[in-house]
Amino acid sequence: MEKAKLDRISELTQIARQRPLTEAEQTERAALRTEYINEFRASMTGILDNSVIVRPDGTRESVKDRRKKQDSKE
C-alpha cells in the first residue's frame, strides 16, 4: 500500500479522536482499511506459501502443501 494511503488512514484516525467523522470520511476510511487488510492478507499468504516446517527428525513440509491437505479434509 502506498505511503500516502497509510498516512491518510492515520490522519483520519487522528481526526476521529478529535471529532466525529463525516459520512464521506467514514466511507473513505472504511475503503482504505479494507484495501490495507486485503493487501496484508495477500502478503501473509505469500510469505506462508514460501515457508517450510522443519521437524526434529529433519523432514521438511511446505506450509502450502499442509494447507491443501487441510482444505481437502473439510
Confidence tier at 74 by pLDDT (50, 70, 90) = low
Could you read off the pLDDT of 15-58 as tens digits, one per residue?
Answer: 999 999 999 999 999 999 999 999 999 999 899 888 988 999 99
**Is the distance from CB of 5 to CB of 35 less than 8 angstroms?**
yes
Q: The whole model's pTM is what?
A: 0.71
- Whether pLDDT at 66 is above 90: no
| Cβ-based burial of 25 (10 A; exposed 0-12, middle 13-18, buried ≥19) | middle
The C-alpha atoms of residue 74 and residue 68 are separated, in whole angstroms, by 10
- Please report the pLDDT score of residue 24 as a whole number: 96
